[in-house]
Amino acid sequence: MLTGSFPEQLREDFQSMLDYYGQYPIIVRSSSLLEDSFGSAFAGKYDSFFCANQGSPEDRYNAFEAAVRKIFSSTMSEDALTYRKQRGLDQQVEQMGLLVQRVSGSYHRQYYFPELAGVGISYNTFVWDKQMDPKAGMLRLVLGLGTRAVDRVEGDYPRIVALDEPMKLPLKGYEDIRRFSQKDIDLVNINDNDLQSQSLFRLIEEGIDFNLDRYGVLDRETMNRLRERGKPAQQVWLLTFEHLLIRTDFPQRMQKLLKTLETAYQYPVDIEFTVNRNADQTEKINLLQCRPLQTKGLKKRVSIPDGITAEKIFFKAEGGFMGGNTALQIKQVIWIDAKRYSQLSLSDKHEVARLIGRLNRCIKDREQQPTLLLGPGRWGTSTPSLGVPVKFSEINNMTAIGEVAFQEGELMPELSFGSHFFQDLVEADIFYLALFPDTFPCSLNDGWVYQSSNALEELMPGSSHFKPVVKVIELQKQNLMLLADVVAQKLVCFWDEE
């Protein structure tokens, strides 16, 4: 579907639309019949494309047509077909419409981007603090284009805002804040006719005309360090969004916006938005998308028994999980050894991801064979040094997945709400957990994993090369339970003798 032609009338209509937008960058987005309805968001299953809209009218036209073809073609991608089949939509009619939007933003020299962009969710299904109200909702907020807030990006973090406690972060210490902040800005580069990520540091170096004190604070520590090293003096900004979150009513407005939509939908929603500034400095919110969020209900009460003895516990944590109240009996554990994984070559790391995909396909029935997948860093990243680069379709039969922090290798979990991966987990009803074994009260006893026999070779003959990295443990008689209590924010996985 990538080389087809369009009839004359349609080409004329496309052309007049492009004439209307002129040279402003536009985005061509999938808008299918089933997409974003109640129950299926199709997050990231169909493509969207930016057209920077530079060059001759013919070039611009051709770029647009190419984007349309690619979106049409994405309806038949394996990922999309698997998704539809899994959700029982494979026999339903799916038709692809398109939503074409002028990219919301303004020019800063050759760069074009909105001041702020992000994702908002009216129900904070991951509350990482007992004082927080999940009903207040949350944002993933970035400077520049929202692609950064929607997708998982390596080494870079959007600002996570719990709308009732906007200044609270799931981070500890200044160093963490620096490390887990946004460093790159997504923007349209007019000169290169392209969507790009540029480091904020470099943009400042180039002297970009943008007032950063609204969204960041000067990182004096880093500036001093640079000066000590004899580097030329330059401002270094840390994007904390403090001013916006403390001194303006932005969090309240966004909360009200989300609540209003949730009330009308009678269901939690998630949105994509941008924020720009008028000539008189007032903020204007541009709502790009709104859809019902799928969550597992909180009806089932789960109580975690008191006094589970330490030797019975596989792991426990407070906060850092998602998927509602849960009581699951685990029948299979797939464990990726962090240290050995981090020592693999780049191509072997990709091989591990494919191997997990094949193991995933062996799970014929999630109900019969609930599987817990545990591995270092972030699942689904595109950077293998940060975690196993699986596609969602390679883990979609798991019952629970866990991201385990591995400090030495810099493999850190990242809880990216509203990202495609997050949406996928929510919709596939996969429980998510993050473990920071070095941080109290989290604990992990993985000794038993190394004493258990590895079923990898039986399942995947010819994979013995990866036997030290990938452990598959079948649990027949032992009763491994995964319990999560959302209200108390407690999570435990333990050997239950009853």
Partner 1 sequence: MNDRWVTTGFKGLDDILDGLRIGDNVVWKVDIIEDYQYFVEPYVKQALADQHEVVYFRFGQHPPVVETDLGVETVELDPREGFEPFACAIHAIATEKGVGTFYVFDCLSELLSAWATDHMIANFFQVTCPYLFRLDTVAYFALLRNRHAHKTIARIRETTQVFLELHNREGQRFVHPLKVWERHSPTMFLPHRQSGESFIPLANSLEATSLLAGAYNQDQAAGNRRLDHWHRLFLQAEDLNAEGVSTAEQEKMVNHLCRHLIGREDNILNLARRFFSLNDLLSYKSRMIGTGFIGGKAVGMLLARRILEAQPDSNWCDQLEQHDSFFVGSNVYYSYIVNNGLWELYAAQKTPEGYFRAGAELHEKC
SS3 category, 100: strand
Strand-pairing partners, residue 86, are none
User: Rounded to the nearest whole angstrom, what is the least distance from the CB of residue 72 to partner 1 in the complex?
Assistant: 6
User: Rounded to the nearest whole angstrom, what is the least distance from the CB of residue 368 to partner 1 in the complex?
Assistant: 23
Cα-trace Rg, the chain = 24
Q: How far apart are CA 179 and CA 468, in angstroms?
A: 31
What the block records as the tokens of 402 is: 């866990």
User: Rounded to the nearest whole angstrom, what is the least distance from the CB of residue 422 to partner 1 in the complex?
Assistant: 18
Decide whether 264 or 362 has the Cβ nearer to partner 1: 264
User: Rounded to the nearest whole angstrom, what is the least distance from the CB of residue 102 to partner 1 in the complex?
Assistant: 5
Decide whether 10 or 346 has the Cβ nearer to partner 1: 10
Q: To 5 degrees, how large is the angle CA 386–CA 324–CA 181?
A: 35
Decide whether 36 or 474 has the Cβ nearer to partner 1: 36
User: Rounded to the nearest whole angstrom, what is the least distance from the CB of residue 293 to partner 1 in the complex?
Assistant: 12
Q: How far apart are CA 270 and CA 122, in angstroms?
A: 6
User: Rounded to the nearest whole angstrom, what is the least distance from the CB of residue 394 to partner 1 in the complex?
Assistant: 16
Longest dimension (CA), the chain: 74
Nearest to 372 by CA among 484, 489, 490: 484
User: Rounded to the nearest whole angstrom, what is the least distance from the CB of residue 204 to partner 1 in the complex?
Assistant: 27
Q: How far apart are CA 291 and CA 286, in angstroms?
A: 15
The answer to whether the beta carbons of residues 479 and 314 sit under 8 Å apart is no
CA 17 to chain CA mean position, Å: 33
Decide whether 101 or 445 has the Cβ nearer to partner 1: 101
Residue with tokens 């994509």: 272
User: Rounded to the nearest whole angstrom, what is the least distance from the CB of residue 465 to partner 1 in the complex?
Assistant: 29
User: Rounded to the nearest whole angstrom, what is the least distance from the CB of residue 81 to partner 1 in the complex?
Assistant: 5
Where would I find the beta strands (DSSP E) of 123-268? 138-143, 159-162, 184-189, 194-199, 216-218, 237-239
Strand 400-404 versus strand 371-376 pairing type: parallel
Q: How far apart are CA 359 and CA 368, in angstroms?
A: 15
User: Rounded to the nearest whole angstrom, what is the least distance from the CB of residue 66 to partner 1 in the complex?
Assistant: 13
User: Rounded to the nearest whole angstrom, what is the least distance from the CB of residue 74 to partner 1 in the complex?
Assistant: 8
User: Rounded to the nearest whole angstrom, what is the least distance from the CB of residue 260 to partner 1 in the complex?
Assistant: 6
Decide whether 86 or 385 has the Cβ nearer to partner 1: 86
Decide whether 224 or 260 has the Cβ nearer to partner 1: 260
The answer to whether the beta carbons of residues 22 and 57 sit under 8 Å apart is no
Provide CB contacts within 8 A for 390, sequence distance 6+.
353, 356, 357, 379, 380
Decide whether 102 or 168 has the Cβ nearer to partner 1: 102
Decide whether 64 or 432 has the Cβ nearer to partner 1: 64
- The amino acid that residue 399 corresponds to is T
Q: How far apart are CA 391 and CA 386, in angstroms?
A: 14
- The amino acid that residue 490 corresponds to is K
Q: How far apart are CA 422 and CA 259, in angstroms?
A: 21
Decide whether 36 or 446 has the Cβ nearer to partner 1: 36
The answer to whether the beta carbons of residues 388 and 349 sit under 8 Å apart is yes
First to last CA, the chain: 56
Q: How far apart are CA 70 and CA 67, in angstroms?
A: 5
Which CA distances in Å does 80 have to 83, 87, 89, 91, 132? Answer: 5, 11, 11, 13, 36
Q: Give me the residues that bind partner 1 (CB under 8 A), please.
A: 1-7, 10, 13-14, 17, 20, 29-38, 42, 68, 72-73, 75-78, 81, 85, 90-91, 93, 95-102, 104, 253, 256-257, 260-261, 264-265, 269, 271, 274, 276, 283-292
DSSP 243-286: HHHHHSSHHHHHHHHHHHHHHHHTS-EEEEEEEEE-TTS-EEEE
Cis peptide before 437 (omega within 30 of 0): no
Decide whether 4 or 57 has the Cβ nearer to partner 1: 4
User: Rounded to the nearest whole angstrom, what is the least distance from the CB of residue 24 to partner 1 in the complex?
Assistant: 9
Decide whether 85 or 465 has the Cβ nearer to partner 1: 85
Decide whether 45 or 148 has the Cβ nearer to partner 1: 45
Decide whether 99 or 487 has the Cβ nearer to partner 1: 99
